[in-house]
């Protein structure tokens, strides 16, 4: 965003600027976690087969990592807004994920299923703040396209 830009011009640039599909990939990663969670919950209180949830969690983690790599290479991005929103939303979703984890531990989920659920909850607690903080920051960023 140029300091010399005329009134309104910088905002127009912000609205029209194209960003990498970080939010879209984040929603896809969230969807994979949700499918895995539904699959495991549908087996409760029995032990669910873990192959499908593990595949979904790994695929989701790969999407999140790809998201973070692409995002780290984005130029002229409002990182201050990204981290401002990110740290508070991360706090709130860590609390939410902790509450869900507590419920599973309380219900005697142990071993492999608990590990998979914990991994899914960690991803959940990262993905949602990532989508929210990216969406806020992108409308506070100006300048040229990403690298």
Partner 1 sequence: MTDTTAEVLSNGAALGHGPPAGAPGRPVIQIVPLKGLPVVAVILAFLAASIGFNWQWGLDFNHVAGGALWTGIDLFVGLVVGPILGRLSIPARAEFSARFMPKMVLLMPTLVAMTLASGFQLALDLGNLKATSPNHAWLVASFIVVGVMATIALGVLEPANLAVLFEMRKPRPNGEVIAKLMKRFIYTAGITGVMQVGTLIIMTRVASR
> Site residues (CB under 8 A) for partner 1?
7-8, 11-12, 14-15, 23, 26-27, 30-31, 34-35, 37-38, 41-42, 44-46, 81, 85, 88, 92, 95-96, 99-100, 102-103, 106-107, 128, 131-132, 134-136, 138-140
Min dist. Cβ of residue 74 to partner 1 (A): 17
Question: How many residues can be counted in the chain?
Answer: 147
Min dist. Cβ of residue 18 to partner 1 (A): 14
* Residue 104 contacts residue 119 (beta carbons within 8 Å): no
Q: Which is nearer to partner 1, 32 or 119 (CB)?
A: 32
Phi-psi region of 109 (alpha: psi -120 to 50; beta: other; left: phi over 0): beta
Q: How far apart are alpha carbons 67 and 127 in whole angstroms?
A: 10
Work out whether the CA dihedral 103, 119, 29, 13 comes out positive or negative: positive
* Residue 22 contacts residue 134 (beta carbons within 8 Å): yes
φ, ψ of residue 76 to 5 degrees: the values are 50, 50
Min dist. Cβ of residue 13 to partner 1 (A): 10
Min dist. Cβ of residue 122 to partner 1 (A): 15
Min dist. Cβ of residue 128 to partner 1 (A): 5
Q: Which is nearer to partner 1, 99 or 147 (CB)?
A: 99
Q: Which is nearer to partner 1, 79 or 139 (CB)?
A: 139
Q: Which is nearer to partner 1, 105 or 147 (CB)?
A: 105
């Amino acid at each position: 965003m140029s300091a010399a830009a005329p009134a309104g011009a910088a905002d127009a640039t912000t609205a029209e600027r194209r960003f990498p599909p970080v939010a879209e990939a984040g929603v896809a990663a969230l969807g994979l976690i949700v499918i895995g969670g539904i699959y495991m919950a549908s087996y409760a209180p029995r032990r669910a087969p873990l192959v499908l949830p593990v595949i979904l969690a790994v695929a989701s983690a790969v999407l999140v990592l790809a998201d973070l790599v692409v995002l780290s290479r984005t130029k002229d991005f409002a990182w201050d807004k990204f981290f401002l929103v990110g740290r508070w939303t991360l706090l709130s979703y860590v609390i939410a994920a902790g509450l869900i984890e507590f419920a599973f531990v309380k219900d005697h989920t142990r071993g492999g299923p608990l590990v998979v659920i914990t991994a899914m909850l960690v991803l959940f607690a990262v993905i949602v703040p990532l989508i929210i903080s990216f969406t806020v920051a992108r409308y506070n960023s100006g300048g040229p396209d990403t690298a």
